[in-house]
Amino acid sequence: MIDSRVEELAKIASQEMGKLIEQSRGEVKLCAQIARYYADNAKQFLAPVPYKTEFGDAWVEHHPIGVIMAVEPWNFPYYQLMRVLAPNLAAGNPVLAKHASIVPHCAETFAHLVREAGAPEGAWTNLFISSDQVANIIADPARAGRGADRI
């Protein structure tokens, strides 16, 4: 799906952020590769891993961990989102994304692609909020597994 829209998506990124069109094309193509990679390999990545121990058989199972919040920069407006979405969608984790405020059209275009591709409702949500609001969300003690202590 992304492969057939490289020019359209690249043009949006180039117009919105000033990236050279050839660089935008490369970014869009990379996103398609990432999506395919996880679509092709997710079942294998998430398969239970058996272990034999001196105490008997055991295994590791992979389960969704819950909603992931991603705070992303502007320099690769599609790639930064796809690298978060693809593995988390495969694992069953919905994503809340605070995209860089200077590339909102790219963020909305990406969200539209996710819906168009048939992702479950709520799999991807753009948050158009300030950095202070992000900091408040992260600082909330009810949140678990924060990846950063400071914004």
Number of domains in the chain: 1
Within-domain flag for 150: no
Residue 30 lies in a domain: yes
- How far apart CA 3 and CA 7 sit, in angstroms, is 9
Residue 16 counted as domain residue: yes
- For residue 123, tell me if it sits in a domain: yes
- What is d(CA 25, CA 11) in angstroms, rounded to the nearest whole number? 8
Give the CATH number for residue 92. Answer: 3.40.605.10
Q: How far apart are CA 18 and CA 28, in angstroms?
A: 15
- Reference 145, options 64, 74, 75, 82; nearest CA is 64
* Residue 132, domain member (yes or no): yes
User: Residue 76 is part of which domain span?
Assistant: 3-139
Domain contains 44? yes
Question: Of the candidates 62, 68, 65, which has an alpha carbon nearest to the alpha carbon of residue 45?
Answer: 62
pTM over 0.85: yes
Whether 103 is in a domain gets the answer yes
Per-residue pLDDT of the chain (151 residues; tens, 9 = 90+): 899 999 999 999 999 999 999 999 999 999 999 999 999 999 999 999 999 999 999 999 999 999 999 999 999 999 999 999 999 999 999 999 999 999 999 999 999 999 999 999 999 999 999 999 999 988 888 776 655 555 4
Which residues, other chains included, contact 14 with Cβ-Cβ below 8 Å and sequence gap of 6+?
20, 21, 23, 24
Output the pLDDT for position 145. 65
Distance, CA of 61 to CA of 39 (rounded, Å): 19
State the pLDDT at residue 26: 98
